[in-house]
A and B are shown apart, each in its own frame.
Chain A
Amino acid sequence: MSTGGRPGGREPTDAELVARFKNGDRSAFDALVSRHQRRVYNLAYRMLGRVEDARDAAQEALLSCYRHLGSFRGDSAFGTWLHRITVNACYDSLRRRPPDPSPLSEVVEPAPARDHADQAVAAVDVQRALLAVPPEFRGALVLHDIQGLPYEDVAEALDVPLGTVKSRLHHGRLALARALVGEPPPAPPASKAATPEGGTQDRR
């Protein structure tokens, strides 16, 4: 996520917009939203797999961001902080409405922004497999492999140590690869792979 303006450009950085907002300039928040909402929504969609849920989570994340921006101290980049809020909104959504395994076959990939037929077909399968990955692992996968955040930012967004990020990434990738080929995860008994609390243990 861009945490600043373009190099050499005149766009205000996120930090500048946050400062303006704190000084009473509400339009600064509009600018932050327009800059970040796409990533917020994509993060939510990849985590939740349903357009409605993703939209709701994205809205909640942005509203929560608005509410708390006044007390945001800037210890981390605004973008990282917003990722964290969004991830939490997604986990809340999963807790409220745990995905039940059957609708996984009904995942419909919305029309991609960059339209490409082959890509879209494959994306449906990948998204379905992603939803079979335990949510904790999924968070690491979405933030790092899809959204490209460095480990350190993923660690902040998920509020876990760096080593945990790498562990979750690796095990999440294995779970995804297995789900992609229809192989059931080598999970412990009574596993329900897609419940929010179901995947905390790093197994091997």
Chain B
Amino acid sequence: MNHPEDLLAAFVDGTATLQERAAVEAHVTFCSACRREIELARSARAALQGLPDLEPPPLDLGSLAAGRPAASAATATSAAVPTGRIAEPPGEPTEPSGVGPGRHAPAREPARAGHRRTPARWQVRVVQGALAAAAVAVAVGVFANLGGNSKLAPTTGSPASGGVRGAIQAPAAAPTRPTHAWTG
């Protein structure tokens, strides 16, 4: 018997085409094995869909913040994330470990007054995440206002955007800075 096995996932998901659906329905009228499989698959799918979304623990991206200048994407992306545990993809160069967090970042970030959290920890916390999102929203709001008033649309990647962003981020920096503690 030719079981339409390749159609059963989509059949269970309800994403099969009309023809596929008809083929499966015709088949299961005489194939109890496939009928049973569809039942099982449906129960499994329902069980999985009932799983709760879990709150992540604080993620320690510690060394992420170390050893990279703030304004250089090139440096940032090629410079290391030196953590011995990290398994590099084959062929990817790994910088040696040993850039200890906690010393470099403050020097780059003079505007740290009012910091709630010691920068040495650099942990991403969910609360921080929410605040960061809010901070982004604030920054974007400032963008939008400025764009509306002066027609300086903050097009990402345009030559002007760096200057615009630099000008805009100054006022936004005070409230948002603490939310980015982990980036140093």
Determine how close the nearest CB of chain A comes to the CB of B117; give it in whole angstroms: 14
Q: How far is the CB of B140 from chain A (nearest CB, A)?
A: 5
B52 and A119 form a contact (CB under 8 A): yes
Query: Which chain B residues border A69 with CB–CB below 8 Å?
Result: 77
Q: What is the number of residues of chain A that contact chain B, defined by CB distance less than 8 Å?
A: 78
Chain A contact residues: over half helix, strand or loop, or mixed? helix
Determine the chain B residues whose CB is within 8 A of the CB of A178 once the complex forms. Answer: 40
Q: Given A23-B162, A173-B40, A174-B37: A70 and B183 within 8 A (CB)?
A: no
1/0 per position for A138-168, CB-CB distance to B under 8 A?
A: 0001100110000100000000000101110
Among A41-57, those with CB < 8 Å from B are: 41-42, 45-46, 51, 55-56
Chain A residues numbered 97-111 whose CB sits less than 8 Å from any CB in chain B: 110-111
A27 contacts partner chain B, Cβ-Cβ < 8 Å: yes
B81 CB contacts on chain A under 8 angstroms:
63-64, 66-67
- B interface size (C-beta, 8 A): 70
CB distance B51 to A127 under 8 Å?
yes
A170 and B8 within 8 A (CB) = yes
Q: Are A114 and B52 in contact (CB under 8 A)?
A: yes
Task: Assess the A22–B73 pair: CB atoms within 8 A.
Answer: yes
Q: How far is the CA of A151 from the CA of B92 in the complex (A)?
A: 29
Q: Which residue of B lies closest to A163 (CB)?
A: B6
**Can you list 12 pairs linking A and B with CB atoms under 8 Å apart?**
A26-B68, A29-B183, A30-B132, A31-B136, A40-B56, A58-B59, A59-B59, A67-B92, A169-B9, A170-B8, A173-B44, A177-B40
Which residues does B use to contact A, with CB under 8 Å?
3, 5-6, 8-10, 12, 15, 37, 40-41, 43-45, 47-57, 59-61, 63-64, 68, 70-74, 76-78, 80-81, 83, 85-87, 89, 92, 124, 126, 128-130, 132-133, 135-137, 140-141, 144, 156-157, 161-162, 165, 176, 179-180, 182-183
A-B complex: 9 closest residue pairs judged by Cβ atoms:
A70-B77, A34-B129, A112-B52, A41-B56, A177-B40, A173-B44, A145-B48, A173-B41, A176-B44
